[in-house]
Every structure is written in structure tokens, then in C-alpha cells.
């Protein structure tokens, strides 16, 4: 565990190590330098509160996101990126110009600045655990990150784990991605001997509340394809995500004194419970994994007179998606038959679709090659959720997702694995370096 000066001490330590390796002629000096840089950035970024606000109708939804974006704007200019622009909607873009003559497709990298509104992101105090011993990480009496509950920790014994202090989330989603992209861009600027085409980067707000791409100008961004850097475990290469919809039930009851209610009262709250009980009990998030879909009750409130419920509908197949929406509609109809017309009103809104339909397989083949060149075995893991990349893919910017090293997002058990973060930087550099060599045809 480190003190408040962790970032400075750790960076100095790694820089000294890097210098020693340079003097010894070791090629590992580059890795140490990258590790120090990505750690320093990440530890600084997470101290900025950037929660998005679903109750706001502004873009970005919270002013604190814009404040953080202004800092990133200055950093992009400071490291030498060009065409740095931050628009009124909180979308920051920049360019790493090509250093080769041959024309190659323009590639992009994206990450989001906001953290989830599900858990506090204020006053994040990152803690660094070097040489993790494989035991419970006790952040507070109430918050223990245990390898028994989170077995991936067992993969990181002897390595470096970064957590928050137990009463906030960490912000690895997606400040790991921001740190990795900028560290890779800085490395390429400092190493002009590495050939690459034109690279575009973008940092966006409000991904956590589903609004990230709303004001994104794909044409102005000017990339043929891109990668969101917003995944988890080492090697994740994701080009499939949920089909997603939201279902909102509004139930109207009839209130009357319970002493004379027989045959007259309609209890809206009890009808809501009955509807929920009619759903398949094994098709909920806590019972599903991999390619299994689910219905997720996110909230419910009400009384005898009026009750509301909101569900998420999620699956990976378009026919199943239609069937799940029809199941909800049929459920509403059956309860109206039972309790009377207009007792139950249902509104279903499509949210996003599976990006697999829009991502050219040759982009994935290229990414596989770049992963392998960086010494990372790609793992094709479906995204059990959505990313900005899903919507951007349908807006004309094919946008699969790559790993960051973050785990247990959106709560106090969140942690990041430093060595995986370093590998994410390596993969980004490898993607940039290998694109001129790959026969990638774009429209």
C-alpha cells in the first residue's frame, strides 16, 4: 500500500530502473518507461470526479467532465499532437500525423471520460499494491477485494494492483483507456523511427448514460475505423455486444378502503410484483453469462394507485431480441385481459444493436495480427453491455473494443492491473506500427 505521494515515488523508481536498463543496454527500458508513464497518468486522472448525470439534459451532462476534458486538451497539445479540438459538447479530438508517404487507412482510438453514476467518483484516493501477495485486499472493514470472490486476482500474484480506498469507485472505466491512448501517442511522437499512418484520437463524455455518440461527428473525425479502449482483461478483443432495449411498465390501480375492497380494489404495486414474477427466473443478470440474454429489473416504485417498473432487455441475436420484446408486449396484454383494459401500459425503446453486423472481419484479422506482434493472445469475448463503439459502428465508424486492464467496474471493488495496462499501450503501438504493412481495404 502506498501513501498519497505514490505517483511521484513510483514514477521516480521506475524511471531510475529505466535509466539503469538503458545503461545496461537492455531493451526492457522501453517497457519500464511506458509503465511509469501510464501509471502516472492514471493515478492523476482518477482524482478528478467526472461522473455523468442521467438527470441532466445538457451535453456533457456534468460540468466536471468538461473541466477534465480541458485538462486533457492541454495535455494533448503538450505532448505534441496536432489538430487538438474540444467542442461545446465535450468531445475532444486530436491527430497524430502520418510519418510515411504511402497512403494507408486512417485509424482512430477512443475512450470516455465519465465514470458511472451508480457509485461515488468524488475524492478518489488510489492505492497501489506492488508485488500482490494473493491474499484479500482490505480497503476498509466494509470493502474487501477477495480472490475467492474475484478469482482473476489470482492471475496477478507478484504484480501490481491499483484500487480506490473503499468508499468510491476507482475510475478504471475508462481512465485506464485514456491513460493508455495518450501514453501510446506520446511514445510514437518520441520515437519517429516507428512508421505509422494518420492516427485520430477522441475522448468523449457520457458513455455511462448512453449518450456518448449523440454529438459525435463521424465525418469530421475522418477515420476509416477505430477502436474503443474500454475493455477488461488482458487480450480482450471485442466486436460483439448486446442488442439492447428498455421496457417501461406503468400500472394503474384502483384504491379503495381495504375494509370494503373485495372485488373492487386493484393494487398496482401487487400487479407489478406479479408481472416481475412472470419473467423467467433464470434469465436475469445474476444467472447468465457469455452469450446468454436476460431481463433486468433496474427499478420499481409505486403504491396501490400507480406503480412503475423499468427493465433492460439484452441478448446477442436479432431474432431473440425481437422475441424478447414480443414476450414483454404479450405479458402486458395478458395482464390487461386479467385486470381490465389500460391497467398496464408498456413502452419499449430500442437502445443499441450488435456491432458485429457493421465490423468488417478484415479489421479483426488485422487486430489479431497486431495483438500477436505485441505478445498478446487475443480473446474474443462478447461485450455483455454496450459501448460507444456499438452506436458509432452504426453511424459509419466501425469500432471494436480492446482491453484496458480494469476489473469490477462501477463500484468500490474496482481495480486495475498495471502490467495489463502496459500491454494495452503495447497493443495500441503495435496497431499503429502494423497498419502500413497490412493489406486492409476500406471503402
User: DSSP per residue over 30-79, as a string?
Assistant: HHHHHHHHHHHHHHHHTTS--B--TT--SSSSSHHHHHHHHHHHHHHHHH
Tell me if residue 74 is catalytic. no
Element of type H or E holding 86: strand 82-86
Q: CA distances (Å), 389 to each of 58, 258, 359, in order?
A: 21, 53, 10
Domain ranges in the chain with CATH number 3.30.70.360: 246-352
Domain ranges in the chain with CATH number 3.40.630.10: 6-240+355-437
Query: Which residue among the candidates 40, 114, 186, 240 is catalytic per the annotation?
Result: 114
Tens of pLDDT along the chain (443 residues)?
Answer: 444 444 444 443 444 333 333 333 333 346 778 999 999 999 999 999 999 999 999 999 999 999 999 999 999 999 999 999 999 999 999 999 999 988 899 999 999 999 999 999 999 999 999 999 999 999 999 999 999 999 999 999 999 999 999 999 999 999 999 999 999 999 999 999 999 999 999 999 999 998 999 999 999 999 999 999 999 999 999 999 999 999 999 999 999 999 999 999 999 999 999 999 999 999 999 999 999 999 999 999 999 999 999 999 999 999 999 999 999 999 999 999 999 999 999 999 998 899 999 999 999 999 999 999 999 999 998 988 877 898 999 999 999 999 999 999 999 999 999 999 999 999 999 999 999 988 777 65
CATH architecture of 6-240+355-437: 3-Layer(aba) Sandwich (3.40)
Q: Please tell me the predicted confidence (pLDDT) of residue 258.
A: 93
**pTM reported for the whole predicted model:** 0.84
User: For residue 151, what is its C-alpha cell?
Assistant: 478469482
Preceding omega of 373 cis (within 30 degrees of 0): no
Count of other CB atoms within 10 angstroms of residue 120: 17
| 246-352 fold | Alpha-Beta Plaits (3.30.70)
What is the three-class DSSP state of 254? Answer: strand
Q: CA distances (Å), 242 to each of 321, 368, 384, 393, in order?
A: 9, 22, 6, 13
Query: Which residue among the candidates 207, 208, 250, 414 is catalytic per the annotation?
Result: 207
Upper half-sphere CA count for residue 58 (Cβ side, 13 Å) = 12
Q: At what angle do helices 418-434 and 29-45 cross, to 10 degrees?
A: 110
- Pairing assessment for the beta strands 225-229 and 107-112 based on DSSP bridges: parallel
Q: Please tell me the predicted confidence (pLDDT) of residue 134.
A: 96
Tell me if residue 114 is catalytic. yes
Amino acid at each position: 500500500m502506498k501513501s498519497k505521494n505514490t505517483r511521484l515515488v513510483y514514477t521516480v523508481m521506475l524511471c531510475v530502473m529505466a535509466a539503469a536498463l538503458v545503461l545496461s543496454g537492455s531493451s526492457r527500458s522501453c517497457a519500464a518507461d511506458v509503465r511509469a508513464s501510464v501509471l502516472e497518468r492514471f493515478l492523476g486522472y482518477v482524482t478528478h470526479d467526472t461522473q455523468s448525470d442521467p438527470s441532466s439534459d445538457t451535453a456533457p451532462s456534468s460540468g466536471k467532465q468538461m473541466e477534465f476534458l480541458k485538462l486533457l486538451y492541454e495535455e494533448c497539445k503538450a505532448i505534441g499532437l496536432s489538430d487538438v479540438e474540444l467542442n461545446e459538447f465535450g468531445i475532444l479530438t486530436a491527430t497524430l500525423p502520418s510519418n510515411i508517404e504511402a497512403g494507408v487507412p486512417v485509424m482512430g482510438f477512443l475512450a470516455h471520460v465519465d465514470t458511472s453514476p451508480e457509485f461515488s467518483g468524488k475524492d478518489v484516493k488510489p492505492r497501489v499494491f506492488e508485488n500482490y501477495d494473493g491474499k484479500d485486499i482490505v480497503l476498509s472493514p466494509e470493502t474487501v477485494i477477495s480472490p475467492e470472490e474475484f478469482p482473476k486476482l489470482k492471475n496477478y500474484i507478484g504484480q501490481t494492483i491499483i484500487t480506490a480506498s473503499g468508499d468510491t469507485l476507482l475510475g478504471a472505466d475508462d481512465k485506464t483507456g485514456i491513460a493508455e491512448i495518450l501514453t501510446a501517442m506520446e511514445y510514437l511522437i518520441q520515437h519517429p523511427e516507428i512508421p505509422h499512418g494518420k492516427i485520430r484520437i477522441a475522448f468523449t463524455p457520457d458513455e455511462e448514460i448512453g449518450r456518448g455518440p449523440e454529438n459525435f461527428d463521424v465525418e469530421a473525425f475522418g477515420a476509416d475505423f477505430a477502436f474503443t479502449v474500454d475493455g477488461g482483461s488482458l487480450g480482450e478483443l471485442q466486436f460483439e455486444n448486446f442488442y439492447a432495449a428498455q421496457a417501461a411498465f406503468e400500472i394503474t390501480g384502483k384504491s379503495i378502503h381495504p375494509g370494503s375492497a373485495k372485488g373492487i380494489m386493484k393494487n398496482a404495486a401487487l400487479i407489478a410484483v406479479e408481472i416481475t414474477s412472470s419473467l423467467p427466473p433464470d434469465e436475469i443478470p445474476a444467472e447468465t453469462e457469455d452469450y446468454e440474454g436476460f431481463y433486468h429489473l433496474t427499478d420499481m416504485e409505486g403504491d396501490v394507485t400507480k406503480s412503475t417498473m423499468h427493465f433492460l432487455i439484452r441478448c446477442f441475436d436479432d431474432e431473440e431480441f425481437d422475441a424478447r420484446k414480443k414476450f414483454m408486449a404479450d405479458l402486458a396484454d395478458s395482464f390487461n385481459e386479467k385486470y381490465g383494459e389500460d391497467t398496464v401500459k408498456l413502452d419499449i425503446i430500442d437502445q443499441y444493436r450488435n456491432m458485429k453486423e457493421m465490423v468488417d472481419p478484415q479489421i479483426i484479422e488485422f487486430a489479431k495480427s497486431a495483438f500477436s506482434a505485441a505478445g498478446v493472445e487475443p480473446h474474443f469475448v462478447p461485450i455483455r453491455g454496450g459501448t460507444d463503439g456499438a452506436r458509432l459502428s452504426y453511424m459509419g465508424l466501425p469500432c471494436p473494443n480492446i482491453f484496458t486492464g480494469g476489473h469490477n467496474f462501477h463500484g468500490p471493488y474496482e481495480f486495475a492491473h498495471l502490467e495489463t495496462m502496459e500491454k494495452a499501450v503495447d497493443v495500441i503501438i503495435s496497431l499503429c506500427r502494423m497498419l502500413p504493412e497490412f493489406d486492409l481495404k476500406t471503402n
